[in-house]
Structure 1
Amino acid sequence: MPAIVHFEVQIDPARRDDAAGYLSETLAATRAWPGNLGIEALVDDADPCHILVVETWATTQDHDDYAAWRKTPEGKHRLGEVLAGTPSKQVYSATMPLDLQTSQD
């Protein structure tokens, strides 16, 4: 199963106009990383400074390799310059089967 990554950031309201440029620059490298199958940035309707980046990876290992690269000098990015706080990240690589049939007792 592919890995789905949710990377959630809160943009500093004073830097909101700069955020798209910083996100585009950072996410271009993410998009180009081997194993990245797609990426999009979703803006919260209630708070335009709250962004959810949804990444799809071929495997969890592809994402782990990318995340390790981001911790190197070559992988460093400037996104932190426009953030209001520490981002959060969740990785989803397993599913829960859902039985859509209900029993009639």
Structure 2
Amino acid sequence: MAVIVAGKVYVDPAERDAFVAGHGEVVAQGRARPGCLDLSISPDPVEPGRVNIFEYWESREALDTFRANAPVPSGSVEIEEAQVLKHDIARTGPPFD
């Protein structure tokens, strides 16, 4: 069963770009892993301190394997608030059917 991890975290707006840049290697290594369908940690275009998190994995096992060996983000930006959830996907299809 596919898994999506998605949500948002909030950091000090002055440190948001450093937070995103500090996760560059995490994103690059995650995307290169077997079972990773997509991974993105990106700045929100509307809220200055918000960072959007999106991970799409073929299976929980693929996600767990990556997490067990994932690189540590560079830098030390404090997360002020996090609203990120893991979703088990039972069905996938076109977005507007």
- TM over 0.5, yes or no? yes
- 1:64 counterpart SS class: helix
> Which aligned pairs between 1:1-105 and structure 2 lie closer than 5 A?
1-70=1-70, 75-78=71-74, 81-85=76-80, 87-95=82-90
Which letter does structure 2 place at the counterpart of 1:76? Answer: V
Name the TM-score, length of structure 2 as normaliser: 0.69
Q: Is the 1:26–1:78 Cα contact (8 Å) retained in structure 2? A: no
* Cα distance in structure 2, aligned partners of 1:18 and 1:48: 13
1:14 shift after superposition: 2.8
Moved over 3 A (4+): 41-46, 86-89
Q: RMSD in angstroms over aligned alpha carbons? A: 2.6
> Which 5+ residue runs of structure 2 have no aligned equivalent?
92-97
Task: Identify, as 1 or 2, the structure richer in strand.
Answer: 2
Greater C-alpha Rg: 1
Matched pairs, number: 91
Q: Which runs of 5+ in 1 are unaligned?
A: 97-105
